[in-house]
């Protein structure tokens, strides 16, 4: 059962290593300085995505609606006022609300303060998760933690090789570092930000957006003004528009908004390019 839970990403094994390039840099600096500590299974943790539970709820309601539709087809007499007609309306409302809730939860994806995950990255969550897993592990004698969080095909291929368990766990654990530590004087982070902290974060986000937006206009403006070469200007305009469109795709949620922002930016840039074309047109001809 535990390997099935793992494969369904309800409970996932994670490690305090940094993901991506930063993790490789940490390993390299650790090797060069000779202070790299080898991770063991005791250093690993767990993560639960509540959005996965929400998808299970959506699937349950989806199946229930399908059953009601089949029942309506074969038992028309049951669909009188006060009968199953009211039930399908209630289930349909629950299904629509569940889909909307999942869309709302998706807005917090990849956020550092995502309230819809329980993860060992946070001190409080780490304590609760370890307690819950230990409690359920004691109730089931056939569970061998944390090996049972490995995929089933790995367990079968490595069966009987107990000396490789730690390395396998570290290998298949998802890097999510850095984690909060309970051996420091730093206060544990709250699950949700205070109003003051949320306002400051939003303020600096707006400042950052203003700086980036200004850079996308000021930098090409200077280049297009100083370099009166048609091909250089076209290359700069193409690169800036492509970079701006790519950046908008990271921050905007809908395709319409990405198109609108990119086209508006392209229109501004093309004003500068048009001036250069007018000035260089006689020489090109």
Q: What is the pLDDT of residues 231-281, one digit of tens each?
A: 888 898 999 999 999 998 888 878 899 999 999 999 999 888 888 777 766
Q: Is residue 164 located within the same domain as residue 200?
A: no
Among 200, 185, 274, which residue's Cα sits nearest to residue 234?
274
Q: Is residue 125 located within the same domain as residue 34?
A: yes
pLDDT band at 163 (very low <50, low <70, confident <90, very high): very low
Q: Is residue 168 located within the same domain as residue 97?
A: no
pLDDT at position 182, please?
A: 63
* Counted domains in the chain: 3
Domain carrying residue 215 = 195-284
pLDDT band at 1 (very low <50, low <70, confident <90, very high): very low
Average pLDDT, the chain: 77
The answer to whether residue 37 sits within a structural domain is yes
Burial of 173 (0-12, 13-18, 19+ CB in 10 A): buried
Can you list the alpha helix ranges (DSSP code H) found in 39-175? 50-74, 84-106, 123-139, 152-157, 165-172
pLDDT at position 93, please?
A: 94
Q: Is residue 181 located within the same domain as residue 268?
A: no
pLDDT band at 137 (very low <50, low <70, confident <90, very high): low
Q: Is residue 14 located within the same domain as residue 151?
A: yes
């Amino acid at each position: 059962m535990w390997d099935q839970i793992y494969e369904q990403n309800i409970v996932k094994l994670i490690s305090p290593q940094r993901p991506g390039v930063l993790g490789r840099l940490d390993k390299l600096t650790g090797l060069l300085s000779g202070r790299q500590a080898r991770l063991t299974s005791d250093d690993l943790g767990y993560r639960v995505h509540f959005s996965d539970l929400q998808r299970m709820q959506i699937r349950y309601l989806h199946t229930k609606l399908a059953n009601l539709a089949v029942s309506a087809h074969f038992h028309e007499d049951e669909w009188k006022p006060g009968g199953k007609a009211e039930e399908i309306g209630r289930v349909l409302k629950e299904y629509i609300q569940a889909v909307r809730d999942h869309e709302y939860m998706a807005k917090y994806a990849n956020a550092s303060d995502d309230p819809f995950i329980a993860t060992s990255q946070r001190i409080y969550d780490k304590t609760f998760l370890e307690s819950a897993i230990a409690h359920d592990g004691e109730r089931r004698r056939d569970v061998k933690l944390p090996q049972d969080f490995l995929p089933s095909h790995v367990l079968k291929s490595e069966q009987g090789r107990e000396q490789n368990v730690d390395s396998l766990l570290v290998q298949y654990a998802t890097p999510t570092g850095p984690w909060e530590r309970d051996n420091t004087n730093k206060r544990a982070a709250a699950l949700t930000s205070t109003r003051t902290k949320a306002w400051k974060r939003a303020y600096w986000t707006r400042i950052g957006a203003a700086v980036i937006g200004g850079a996308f206009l000021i930098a090409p403006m200077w280049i297009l003004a100083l370099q009166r070469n048609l091909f250089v200007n076209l290359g700069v305009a193409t690169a800036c528009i492509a970079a701006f469109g790519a950046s908008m795709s990271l921050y905007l949620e809908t395709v319409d908004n990405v198109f609108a922002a990119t086209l508006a930016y392209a229109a501004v840039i093309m004003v500068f390019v048009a001036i250069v074309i007018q000035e260089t047109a006689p020489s090109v001809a």
